Chains A and B, each alone.
Chain A
Amino acid sequence: EVQLVESGGGLVQPGRSLRLSCTASGFTFGDYGLGWVRQAPGKGLEWVGFIRSKGYGGTTEYAASVEGRFTVSRDDSQSIAYLQMNSLRTEDTAVYHCSRGRTFRGVKYWFDSWGQGTLVTVS
């Protein structure tokens, strides 16, 4: 069974940093891209960032709202993905989900499994 478990959320002051982790099991982690999607309280889904598998270059993509502040990385040896969040703002307050990316030829990605999320509160 595919499982994704996020951790590392909490209360943080504006301008500070936080690193989220996503621990995966039940599949060959290195074969998949991983995404981060957030959901502010009472709001919809917002894609944050994505990292491709090493087979597709291991490159990253970011939403404009977090570009330059957030960094996605991965450790395939431990089946963990990370979201490093710097210069946090009050508008970054949200539940952050990690999600497994299914791909068409390494170009197009959608998300076929999701973690329950971890709450980040910037205040």
Chain B
Amino acid sequence: AIQLTQSPSSLSASVGDRVTITCRASQGISSALAWYQQKPGRAPNLLISDASSLESGVPSRFSGSGSGTDFTLTISSLQPEDSVTYYCQQFNSFPLTFGGGTKVEIK
């Protein structure tokens, strides 16, 4: 199974900061990576698919990049409502796998 390693597992940043979360795959997955946001007690919400395609309705401060084994999710200007947990997921092959998650907090 393809393993996804997310880093950091948690971070603290100020409102307006640029935040970057990384996701590394144990083998090449082309651009078959999605990013999800999950608020406490809620279902995950798809932010980005195909490594860099922003879902309709997702604020433009979110962006994704990468291919192969190294990927990033960037929040260009952190907002208070972005203080939640983020997960990456590879869909290059079954079994589908998720990263361990990154919890973002506001300083």
Q: Do A and B come from one complex?
A: yes
- Let me know if A50 and B98 touch, CB within 8 A: no
Q: What is the CA–CA distance of A61 and B97 in the complex, to the nearest angstrom?
A: 13
**CB closest chain-A residue, reference B43:** A114
Residues of B contacting A63 with CB < 8 Å?
95
Binary contact readout B10-39 vs A (1 if CB under 8 angstroms, 0 otherwise): 000000000000000000000010101010
Number of A residues whose C-beta is below 8 Å from B? 24
- Let me know if A114 and B49 touch, CB within 8 A: no
Contact-size category for B: 20 to 34
Determine chain B's interface SS by DSSP, over half rule: loop
Residues of A contacting B44 with CB < 8 Å?
37, 45, 97, 111, 114
- Let me know if A61 and B91 touch, CB within 8 A: no
**Chain B CB within 8 A of A110 CB:** yes
- Number of A-B contacts defined by CB within 8 Å: 62
Binary contact readout A83-123 vs B (1 if CB under 8 angstroms, 0 otherwise): 00000000000000100001010001111111111000000
**Chain B CB within 8 A of A56 CB:** no
- Let me know if A110 and B98 touch, CB within 8 A: no
**Chain B CB within 8 A of A31 CB:** no
Q: What is the interface of chain A, defined by CB distance below 8 A to chain B? A: 35, 37, 44-47, 50, 61-64, 97, 102, 104, 108-117
